Amino acid sequence: MRLEYFQLIDRIVALDLDARTIAVDAQVPETSTIFEGHFPGHPLMPGVLLIEAMAQTCGWLLIGLNGFSRMPFLAAVKEAKLRTFVTPGQALSIAGSLVHDGSGFAMAHASVRCDGKAVCEADITFRIVPFPDPSFRTGMEDFARKIGFPLEAIAHG
Amino acid sequence: MTHPLGGPAPGLPEARGGTGFERIPRGLRAGRQPGVARIALPRCLGYTDRNERAKNRRRMGGMRTRMPAGFTAFREYPMSSTFDTVANIIAETCDIPRDKITPESHAIDDLGIDSLDFLDIAFAIDKAFGIKLPLEQWTQEVNDGKATTEQYFVLGNLCTRIDSLVAAKGA
């Protein structure tokens, strides 16, 4: 994770387009300016960033399903539950699954575990729209390579 | 009748503990059932009595459909079933009083449903009817001036399109 750059997942470990599921790893950094304020002397991974990490996880699943033809944007978060504190240095496993593939939108469910223990979960709604410009898509493809996205499994649209 | 998202539809008999399919005692029929809004329709608008319904069932090969108790006195148009489902979804999803939702209601202009809330409605409709509302296509047609929002978002029209999508799925 690079919290200041909103890079909240490190590696895609499994992407199953038939089952419409994804699994990623995310290592919470030991240090970050964010921990200086959240909270002074008691650093905690902000819950909103855990939700963002779940959204990014499901977002990569949706990009995989549409073959990098369109971009999912976060639209709604429901039933978000933050069950335990997450502290610097912890390794998180995030799982995402598609609940509904709508026309121009999708509903997904994500959950985070740490050492086998449930950390948080949420139901997430995305709007799915064409990439605003070609460079946006190129940037996403470049980042996909960095996090181990199985580009060879995707038929580009 | 159960709401597609789970739980009984508000205002229907099972919301008060029943199954929705039990026989109504004679004294509670035709608008006397507490908590269920009923409108007595004249025969020309679709009201049928018990003998006519039995005759219709015989004519249709003995098929007997079971409707929720609050709806037993009305002819069973496919359209009304679709509208009831859609209206209940909208009422529950957007917290809009059920009696304000009519086939003539425009989802956006009359009911004030915004595009984000409509995603929840579309999700519930897709699930309830096993279809995929082509929202992107509709939006494109409206933006291109090839269609008006009334054609898609007046609920009666929406229900007609849902029925068409369901029929196309089964074809």
Residue A155: what pLDDT? Answer: 54
Q: What is the mean pLDDT of residues A54-82?
A: 97
pTM: 0.74
Contact across the interface for B132 and A103, Cβ inside 8 Å: yes
Report the alpha-carbon angle B76-B56-B128, nearest 5: 25
Residue B77: what pLDDT? Answer: 43
Among A108, A94, A23, CA closest to A62: A108
Any A CB within 8 A of B126 CB: yes
Q: Chain A residues with CB inside 8 Å of B128's CB?
A: none
Q: Cβ neighbours of residue A145 under 8 Å, at least 6 residues apart? A: A151
Residue A153: what pLDDT? Answer: 74
Q: Give the one of B126, B134, B135 whose C-beta lies nearest to A100's C-beta.
A: B126
A38 catalytic residue (yes or no): yes
What is residue B18's three-state secondary structure? Answer: coil
Phi, psi of A149 (to 5 degrees): -65, 130
The residue of chain A nearest to residue B138, with distances taken between CA atoms, is A103
Q: What is the pLDDT of residues B7-25, one digit of tens each?
A: 444 443 333 333 334 344 4
Strand A117-130 relative to strand A11-16, pairing? unpaired
Phi, psi of B104 (to 5 degrees): -85, -10
Position A21 pLDDT exceeds 90: yes
Q: What is the mean pLDDT of residues A61-65?
A: 97
Residue A154: what pLDDT? Answer: 74
Q: What is the mean pLDDT of residues B103-122?
A: 95
Q: How many CB pairs under 8 A join A and B?
A: 35
Q: What is the pLDDT of residues B141-165, one digit of tens each?
A: 999 999 999 999 999 999 999 999 9
Q: Cβ neighbours of residue A21 under 8 Å, at least 6 residues apart? A: A14, A15, A61, A95, A96, A97, A98
The residue of chain B nearest to residue A102, with distances taken between CA atoms, is B132
Beta bridge partners of A128: A72
Q: Give the one of A75, A103, A107 whose C-beta lies nearest to B116's C-beta.
A: A75
Residue B171: what pLDDT? Answer: 74
